[in-house]
Amino acid sequence: MKAFMIERYGDRNGGRIGEAPDPPVGAGDVLVRIHAASVNPLDLKLRDGDFKAILPYRLPLVLGNDLAGVVVQVGAAVTRFAVGDEVYARPGKDRIGTFAELIAVHQDDLAVKPAALTMAEAASLPLVALTAWQALVERARLRPGQKVLIHAGSGGVGTIAVQLAKHLGAYVAATASTAKTGLVKGLGADIVVDYKRQAFETVLDGYDVVLDTVGGETLEKSLRVLKPGGTVISVAGPPDAAFARELGANAVLRLVMSALSFRTRRRAGRRGVTYSFLFMKADGEQLRALTELIDTGRIRPVVDRVFPFAETREALEYVGEGRAKAGKVVVTMV
């Protein structure tokens, strides 16, 4: 099969389309012919080697972390899917590689594609939708009437998180640039802070939850808008020991990750709030729950631009240079 792969970490001009072995199909696996995949910041971090100490992939590495396509083969133990089904997924972290013609995905990580969406629209959703779900539903247990701040409301995660939070009955604030405030309000945000004109930490207060997709100073300032007992969940901040435990890391790596987040956790503790790092995981059951919300119109995808497979490297550069205006960038294989 053809696949887009990197042969060494850190080469931002590297990556090539070449021949790779067809993936083996285990008893519980579903072989999917990929029609579309989307570009995520995670792909850029993997390409640059940011996670090589904790996610030791073998090179050459096929990038890509979510997909939509058609089932072409099922393993002997597969019960949920049949050849010809249109599906979408975020594969497990040990089985990435969706910038390719084929991928084998465990049936537990797969869901039937939302009926109303194109392949490109469906491919834009799994990773960011699961991130929003795991942050707001699974970890924050967001309840009606609570207040949530979502950073980068026009981004991949942000566009879905705003819609999901409104569905859950929360009061939603989001940050966005001047040009994107209208889009984010249209997704359901009650208030949009134009970060180019206002400091969000000076106009927001008393929030139960912050979903941070930016990190750095934004994460530190987010602690100030939480009420006592509140929590900031970050996908861009320093990893913590809980994440190391999820990975099954050894004691040394757990200590390293705990040290990386020590300052942030200490500052949070002084304010009577909590900090946690989220690295989303594949979950077909959660994706099926999200599909219901998509099929009933409560959540809609936002696609910025679609690139052909031959321009995968250009798609990565487009995202890496911050040129995407809103939502997701998609690569189409078919």
Element housing 207 (H / E): strand 207-212
Note the helical H segments in 190-250. 200-203, 216-222, 241-247
Return the minimum-mean-pLDDT range out of 13-27, 92-106, 235-249: 235-249
CA angle 49, 55, 56 (to 5 degrees): 80
> Where are the chain's structural domains?
2-125+301-332, 127-277
pLDDT tens readout for residues 259-283: 888 999 999 999 999 999 999 999 9
Confidence of residue 215 (pLDDT cuts 50, 70, 90): very high
d(CA 263, CA 266): 5
Strands 226-234 and 274-277: parallel
Cβ 73 vs Cβ 31: under 8 Å: yes
Tokens 């249209």 -> residue:
186
The matching CATH number, chosen from 3.20.20.140, 3.30.2350.10, 3.40.50.720, 1.20.140.10, for 127-277 is: 3.40.50.720
Confidence of residue 240 (pLDDT cuts 50, 70, 90): confident
Does the pLDDT at position 77 exceed 90? yes
Tokens 């729950």 -> residue:
289
Name the amino acid, one letter, at 84: G
pLDDT tens readout for residues 307-334: 999 999 999 999 999 999 999 999 999 8
pLDDT of amino acid 82: 98
Name the amino acid, one letter, at 64: G
Fold of 2-125+301-332: Quinone Oxidoreductase; Chain A, domain 1 (3.90.180)
Residue 217 CB contacts under 8 Å (≥ 6 apart), including other chains = none
Count Cα atoms within 13 angstroms, Cβ side, for 251.
0
Count Cα atoms within 13 angstroms, Cβ side, for 61.
25
Confidence of residue 135 (pLDDT cuts 50, 70, 90): very high
Both tokens of residue 317? 């550069």
pLDDT of amino acid 295: 96
Residue 217 DSSP label: H
Give, to the nearest 10 degrees, the angle between helix 41-48 and helix 312-320.
100
Cis peptide before 21 (omega within 30 of 0): no
Q: 10 Å Cβ neighbour count for 8?
A: 12
pLDDT tens readout for residues 85-121: 999 999 999 999 999 999 999 999 999 999 999 999 9
d(CA 4, CA 100): 6
